[in-house]
């Protein structure tokens, strides 16, 4: 398989226990886990200089986009 662009995360199943995703990945992604469909979706999050999601205020509420 030839990859030209993008960022990829590969996971390997083990018999030794659960797979762990570290904080360094989680702090810059949106993560959705669908337990019924056994599916995990990841998307890159834009984080500003203060380490916050750019679409939320300091209290975590959504900014008005109008």
User: Can you tell me the mean pLDDT for 37-47?
Assistant: 85
What pLDDT score was predicted for residue 5?
66
pLDDT at 6 over 70: no
pLDDT at 24 over 50: yes
pLDDT at 42 over 80: yes
The CA-atom distances, in angstroms, between 47 and each of 16, 26, 30, 44, 60 are 34, 12, 11, 9, 13
Check: pTM over 0.75? Answer yes or no: no
pLDDT at 56 over 80: no
pLDDT at 22 over 70: yes
């Amino acid at each position: 398989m030839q990859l030209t662009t993008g960022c990829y995360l590969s996971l390997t199943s083990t018999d030794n226990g659960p797979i762990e995703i570290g904080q360094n990945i989680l702090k810059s992604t949106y993560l959705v886990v669908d337990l019924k469909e056994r599916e995990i979706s990841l998307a890159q999050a834009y984080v500003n200089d203060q380490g916050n999601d750019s679409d939320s205020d300091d209290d975590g509420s959504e900014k008005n986009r109008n």
